[in-house]
Amino acid sequence: YKATKARQVQSRIKQLEKVELIEIPDDEEHVNIRFPKPPPSGVFNVELKGIYKSFGEMKLFEGIDFRVNRGDKIAFVGPNGAGKTTLAKIIAGKIDINKGERVSGHNNIISYYSQDVADSLNPEFDLIETLDSVGSEKTIGQLRSLLGAFLFTGDDVFKKVGVLSGGEKSRLALAKILLSPSNFIILDEPTNHLDYSSKKVLQQALVDFSGSLILVSHDVEFLKPIANRVVDIRAGKLKIYEGDIEYYLYKRNAEAQQVSPVKVEVQSETSSRKEQKRIEAEKRQQRYKATKDLKERLANLENEIQSLEQELEKINAVLINPDSYNNPNQIKELNERHKELKLSLDKKVKEWEEVSLSLEEIEKEFTG
C-alpha cells in the first residue's frame, strides 16, 4: 500500500513539473489579448428612467435614473449588499424591474459576465470547442494561448465543461467574453478566480477596449487604469463621480471630513432627551419592519443548509466505505445525488451570504 501511494505521489509530482514548464512566463510579452473590434453603437448604450426594484419587502431602488454613454468605462463601487450586482443585471436586461423604463440604444450589443453565467456553458463541449463557438476565426494555437492566460494549460484544454469546478467555469466564461463581438461589456467581480498574471492580461484588454464598460469590483488596483467614471451605490442612491478611481477616492475622503463634524454638531444642538427617545423608538420600529422578512429568510436558509449538509454527510459515509462499491448501481446513484446536493448547497450558501449582507447593510443604516 505504501509503495503504491509513493508511486502515485511521484507520478503527481512529475505531472506538476510538466505543468510548470508550460506556465505563462513572468514577462507575459507573448500574451497580447484584445477584444474584437466593437460594432458601432449609438450615442448611448442603455438609459434607465425612474427605476424601482425591490425583493419582497426590501426596497432596493426607488425612482433612480442612470445612463451609460458610448465610451464610458464605469466602476460600480460601494458596500456589500447595496445593489451593485442588481443594478448591473438591470442594465444588462437580466432581471425584471418593478417600475420604470429601460431603454436600449441603437445597435447596442451586450456581453455580460457574472459568477452564475458559467452555468449556461454547454457541459458537452471541451474548452477549445467552447471558445471556438464564438471565436471561430482564431487558430487552435491562439485559442490555447487565451486559455493559458486564464490558467488552463496542457491537456486541460480538452476537458469537458461538465467536469470543471465552479472557479474553472467562471474563468472559461470570462475567456469566452474576450472573443465575443460586443460594444458594451458588463463584468461582475471578474477577478475573483484569477491569479496576478491573468488579472494583468484582462486589465490590459479592458484598457484597450474601445467600447463601453461596466465593472463591479472591490479590486481598486485592477480598476485604476480602466475606469473613467465611478458610481458609488449605497442606501438605494447613486452618486456619480466624473473621474477615475483616484479622483473618486480623493472626493470621498474630502466629503467624509466635511460631513462628520456637521452631523455631530447638528445632533447636539437640536435633539432634546425626550425627542431623542421618540426618534429611537421610531427607529426600532422601522428597523424591525425592514429586517423582519430578511431574518425569517435567513432562519429558513439555515435550516435548509443544515438538512442538505446532514444528507451529504450520510452519503459521504457510504462513499468512503469500501464495501459499498460492491453495488455499482447504488454508487452511481449516490454520486449523482451527491452532485445535486452539493449544487443545491452551494446555491443556498450563496443566497445566505447575499441575504446576510443585505441584512447587515440595513442594520448599518440604523446603527451607523
Please, which residues bridge with residue 67 across strands? 47
Taking only the tens place, the pLDDT of each residue in 208-247 is 999 999 999 988 899 999 999 999 999 889 999 999 999 9
pLDDT of residue 46: 95
205 and 323 in a single domain? The answer is no
Q: Look at residues 250, 278, 304 and tell me which one is the last residue of a structural domain.
A: 250
186 and 320 in a single domain? The answer is no
Residue with cell 508550460: 22
- Burial profile 209-244: b = 16 or more Cβ within 10 angstroms, e = fewer: bebbbbbbbebeebbeebbebbbbbbebebeebeeb
- Alpha-carbon distance of 144 to 153, in angstroms, equals 8
- Alpha-carbon distance of 293 to 148, in angstroms, equals 46
315 and 230 in a single domain? The answer is no
101 and 219 in a single domain? The answer is yes
Phi, psi for 228 (deg, rounded to 5): -115, -5
Instruction: Tell me the pairing of strands 99-104 and 110-113.
Output: unpaired
Q: Is 99 helix (H, G, I), strand (E, B) or coil?
A: strand
Please indicate, yes or no, if residue 4 is contained in any of the structural domains: no
Three-state secondary structure along 112-170? Answer: EECHHHHHHCCCCCEHHHHHHCCCCCCCHHHHHHHHHHCCCCHHHHHCEHHHCCHHHHH
Please indicate, yes or no, if residue 128 is contained in any of the structural domains: yes
> Mean pLDDT, 10 residues at a time, over the chain (368 residues)?
49 43 39 77 92 89 94 93 92 93 93 82 90 80 86 87 87 87 92 83 90 92 94 93 92 78 51 65 75 82 85 83 82 87 86 80 66
Please indicate, yes or no, if residue 280 is contained in any of the structural domains: no
147 and 240 in a single domain? The answer is yes
Q: Cβ–Cβ contacts within 10 Å for residue 99, how many?
A: 12
Please indicate, yes or no, if residue 301 is contained in any of the structural domains: yes
322 and 181 in a single domain? The answer is no
Please indicate, yes or no, if residue 276 is contained in any of the structural domains: no
Please indicate, yes or no, if residue 266 is contained in any of the structural domains: no
Q: Is 239 helix (H, G, I), strand (E, B) or coil?
A: strand
Print the domain residue range for 308.
292-367
214 and 301 in a single domain? The answer is no
Q: Is 361 helix (H, G, I), strand (E, B) or coil?
A: helix
202 and 340 in a single domain? The answer is no
Q: Which residues contact 293 (CB under 8 A, 6 or more apart)?
A: 56, 57, 58
Contact in structure between 285 and 267 (CB atoms under 8 Å): no
pLDDT of residue 360: 75
Q: Which residues contact 212 (CB under 8 A, 6 or more apart)?
A: 41, 45, 68, 69, 70, 71, 72, 73, 183, 184, 185
Please indicate, yes or no, if residue 27 is contained in any of the structural domains: no
In one-letter notation, the amino acid at residue 282 is: E
191 and 302 in a single domain? The answer is no
215 and 344 in a single domain? The answer is no
Q: Look at residues 183, 218, 250 and tell me which one is the last residue of a structural domain.
A: 250
Tally of domains within the chain: 2
Query: What does the chain come to in residues?
Result: 368
97 and 213 in a single domain? The answer is yes
pLDDT of residue 72: 95
CATH of the domain at 143: 3.40.50.300
66 and 215 in a single domain? The answer is yes
Please indicate, yes or no, if residue 264 is contained in any of the structural domains: no
